[in-house]
């Protein structure tokens, strides 16, 4: 399994064409999380993300490895933006390639749940 | 809810930047289904897709509308390629934009299951 992690301040660009393609890949599942214009009913100008970066990368790797133990996939790419993320721009991008779609969807959804729960990346609103 | 459907012989190009973005969108979930180099253990050169197109489009719209009734999303784009799809190229691309990721993932996975089951699009292998 190929794992790529990038955490940094650059705007997130979705790869074109699709990442990590070989003849065994039948499914590519991707998630992009974007900064919305409102939080708890109040209008906001964006989000600010901070991370304890070495530990965030270790935790992301641990989560992916754990989830892959149950349902193996072929590759995972995780990109998380830090600093100010304006409304409409991406804060996170996750891509999973697998033989079939079931394991790709399972890893993608499971990863996002555990990311929010376990990874030391914090967000605050900007008004 | 915005729905775009395209069924045709052109190679599928993933939109860059992400489709249907407005300030209310927090989640973009995408699935790309690719032709793999083997089917049931045998090496293949690609897949050939045929569709009864008017009914396929109606069925896709029906499935999306039905799934949205339970968990509303903001937009769905479905692109299905017809004719010969070489190994490593995309046969289907589905994008879902929503306020939050849970409803985007639910619609994407549910749609793919019903597509295979209900929509008159057939595939054969090429050797």
Give me the mean pLDDT over the A34-46 stretch: 88
How is chain B classified by DSSP, letter by letter? -EEEEEEESSPP---SS-SS--TT--EEEEEEEE--SEETTEE-SEEEEEE-HHHHHHHHHHHHHHHHHHS--SEEEEEEE-EEEETTSEEEEEEEEESSHHHHHHHHHHHHHHHHHHS-EEEEEE-
Helix or strand holding residue A118 (H, E)? helix A101-118
Give me the mean pLDDT over the A46-54 stretch: 94
Distance from CA of B11 to the nearest CA of A (A): 12
Residue A119 forms contact with B (CB below 8 Å): no
pLDDT tens sequence across B33-75: 999 998 888 889 899 999 999 999 999 999 999 999 988 999 9
Res. A20: pLDDT tops 60:
no
Query: Which pTM was predicted?
Result: 0.93
How is B25-54 classified by DSSP, letter by letter? --EEEEEEEE--SEETTEE-SEEEEEE-HH
Q: Choose between B126 and A57: higher pLDDT.
A: A57
Evaluate whether residue B20 is within a structural domain.
no
Number of domains into which chain B is organized = 1
Distance from CA of B110 to the nearest CA of A (A): 11
| A window 36-95, beta carbon within 8 A of B | 36-38, 87-88, 90
pLDDT tens sequence across A58-114: 999 999 999 999 889 999 999 999 999 999 999 999 999 999 999 999 999 999 999
Using CA atoms in the order A11, A12, A16, A21, what is the torsion angle rounded to 10 degrees? 150
**Does residue A118 contact residue A63 with C-beta atoms inside 8 Å?**
yes
pLDDT tens sequence across B86-119: 999 999 999 999 999 999 999 999 999 999 999 9
**Dist. CA B100–CA A54, nearest whole Å:** 28
Which of B25, B32, B108 lies closest to A28 in CB terms? Answer: B32
Residue B70 buriedness (CB in 10 A; 0-12 / 13-18 / 19+): exposed
Show the domain range for B111. Answer: 2-15+25-36+44-126
Q: Give Cβ neighbours of residue A103 (< 8 Å, ≥ 6 apart).
A: A27, A71, A72, A73
Q: What is the pLDDT of residue B126?
A: 73
Mean pLDDT of chain A: 91
ipTM surpasses cut 0.85:
yes
Evaluate whether residue B110 is within a structural domain.
yes
Interface size, chain A vs chain B, as Cβ–Cβ contacts under 8 Å = 98
pLDDT tens sequence across B3-12: 999 999 999 9
Q: What is the pLDDT of residue A21?
A: 62
Residues B31, A32: C-beta atoms closer than 8 Å = no
Q: What is the pLDDT of residue A90?
A: 93
**Dist. CA A23–CA B68, nearest whole Å:** 34
* CATH number where B81 lies: 3.90.1170.40
């Amino acid at each position: 399994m190929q794992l790529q992690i990038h955490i940094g301040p650059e705007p997130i660009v979705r790869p074109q064409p699709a990442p990590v393609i070989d003849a065994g890949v039948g499914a590519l599942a991707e998630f992009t999380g974007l900064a919305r214009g409102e939080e708890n009913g109040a209008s906001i100008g964006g989000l600010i993300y901070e991370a304890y970066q070495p530990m965030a990368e270790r935790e992301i790797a641990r989560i992916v490895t754990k989830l892959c133990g149950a349902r193996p996939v072929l590759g995972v790419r995780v990109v998380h933006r830090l600093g100010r993320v304006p409304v409409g721009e991406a804060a996170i991008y996750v891509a999973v390639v697998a033989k079939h779609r079931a394991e790709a969807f399972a890893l993608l959804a499971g990863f996002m749940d555990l990311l929010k729960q376990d990874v030391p990346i914090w967000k605050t609103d900007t008004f």
